[in-house]
């Protein structure tokens, strides 16, 4: 089968690839393992993520994407080449058209870097579309209508908030505070409160298993293992949900402020629509327990997590690729490989 089009949700934490007609064919961490000696790429994706925090000095496993944009151009290109090749399979000889998601607050230089990386990784044509537009399409929101819809897309590196009407973004902001910052806040809290060192992976598991955006009456507990700062020896402690709530409050306040800032820039008629429609939340980090309830408590507007929130942007790339003519006003750039 000749695949001519690919949609890529290029995230800070995970990269998803969508093929029209087949759906999401790849969902792997945005992680690359590199040899220190010859700068050779040793592993990409899930295999590389397993190495984080467990490598010898001669191997570095890290994320080439930071806060939703490219931090290391060469490694991102290698990662994209691997993901595109894996999605196409060994028998595809035609270069595909690639549509890549980018944060709402991306600069022209950052946008250009994404396009160049996609082209060098094997794309024939490269398009970029802002994540809130794709998240809205993937969530089934009719963005072409003259009705205001607010989308809050919370990933690993960025929280994108946008009000969409008539196929375009009316008001938006993109803040570099999302899932990764929550993980770091949990790690810092454990360090200060319990003198225990834990890695980002353990902090993320803690957030997923017992984390919440609001205090709860029936707390969940988690047996956390790490290294004692004083003795240097391994130790385990029991952590409860409301301790995680306290740890991540500053970051959650920052995300809520982003939503309020966009409301302040929203025309009154569209704000009225949003009160009726509610706020749609997408992205992996939006699935934190009681997050919609926190948004409602702080803004007075009902919020709901979209179905398949983690895959909304990837599904949106597929819909945009299948109906390029309909969504042409939403596409920021198209550059061809000469």
The structural domains of the chain, with segments of one domain joined by +, span 5-134+312-336, 142-177+254-310, 179-247
Contact 4, 322 (CB under 8 A): no
156 annotated to bind ligand: yes
Per CATH, domain 179-247 is 3.40.50.150: no
Q: Hey, which CATH number is domain 5-134+312-336, 3.30.420.40, 1.10.468.10, 3.30.2290.10, 3.60.15.10? A: 3.30.420.40
pLDDT at 91: 61
Q: Is 47 annotated as a binding residue?
A: no
13 is in an annotated binding site: yes
pLDDT digits (tens, 9 = 90+) for 112-127: 889 999 999 888 888 8
Which of 186, 139, 127, 181 shows the shortest CA–CA distance to 164?
Answer: 139
The rounded mean pLDDT for the chain is 90
Q: Is 206 labelled as part of a ligand binding site? A: yes
Q: What is the mean pLDDT of residues 120-146?
A: 91
pLDDT tens digit sequence for 22-46 = 899 999 999 999 988 888 888 898 8
Mean pLDDT (whole number) for 219-239 = 94
Q: What are the two backbone dihedrals, phi and then psi, of residue 162, each rounded to the nearest 5 degrees?
A: -150, 145
Report the CATH fold assignment for 142-177+254-310: Nucleotidyltransferase; domain 5 (3.30.420)
Return d(Cα 41, Cα 32) in angstroms, integer.
Answer: 7
**CB within 8 Å of 116: residues ≥ 6 apart:** 73
Consult the annotation and say whether 205 binds a ligand.
yes
Q: According to the annotation, is 158 in a ligand binding site?
A: yes
Q: Same fold for the domain at 5-134+312-336 and the one at 179-247?
A: no
Q: How far apart are CA 296 and CA 313, in angstroms?
A: 23
d(CA 115, CA 109): 10
pLDDT digits (tens, 9 = 90+) for 198-216: 988 899 999 999 999 999 9
């Amino acid at each position: 089968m000749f695949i001519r089009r690919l949609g890529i949700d290029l995230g800070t934490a995970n990269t998803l690839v969508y093929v029209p007609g087949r759906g999401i064919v790849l969902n792997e961490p945005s992680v690359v393992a590199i040899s220190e000696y010859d700068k050779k790429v040793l592993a990409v994706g899930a295999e590389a993520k397993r190495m984080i925090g467990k490598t010898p000095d001669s191997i570095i496993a890290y994320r080439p994407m930071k806060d939703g944009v490219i931090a290391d151009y060469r490694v991102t290109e290698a990662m994209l080449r691997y993901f595109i090749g894996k999605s196409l399979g060994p028998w595809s000889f035609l270069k595909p058209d690639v549509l890549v998601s980018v944060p709402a607050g991306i600069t022209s230089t950052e946008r250009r870097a994404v396009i160049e990386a996609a082209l060098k990784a094997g794309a024939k044509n490269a398009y970029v579309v802002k994540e809130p537009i794709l998240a809205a399409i993937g969530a089934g929101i009719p963005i072409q209508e003259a009705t205001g819809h607010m989308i809050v897309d919370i990933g690993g590196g960025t929280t994108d908030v946008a009000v969409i009407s008539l196929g375009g973004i009316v008001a938006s902001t993109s803040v570099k505070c999302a899932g990764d910052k929550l993980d770091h806040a949990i790690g810092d809290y454990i360090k200060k409160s319990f003198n225990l060192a834990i890695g980002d992976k353990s902090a993320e598991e803690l957030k997923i298993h017992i984390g919440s955006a609001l205090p709860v009456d029936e707390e969940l507990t988690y047996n956390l293992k790490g290294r004692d700062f004083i003795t240097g020896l391994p130790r385990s402690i029991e952590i409860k949900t409301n301790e995680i709530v306290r740890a991540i409050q500053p970051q959650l306040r920052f995300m809520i402020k982003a939503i309020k800032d966009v409301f302040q820039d929203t025309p009154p008629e569209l704000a009225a629509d949003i009160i009726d429609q509610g706020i749609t939340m997408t992205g992996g980090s939006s699935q934190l327990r009681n997050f919609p309830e926190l948004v409602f408590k702080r803004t007075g507007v009902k919020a709901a997590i979209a179905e398949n929130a983690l895959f909304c942007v990837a599904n949106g790339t597929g819909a945009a690729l299948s109906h390029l003519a309909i969504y042409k006003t939403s596409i920021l750039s198209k550059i061809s490989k000469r």
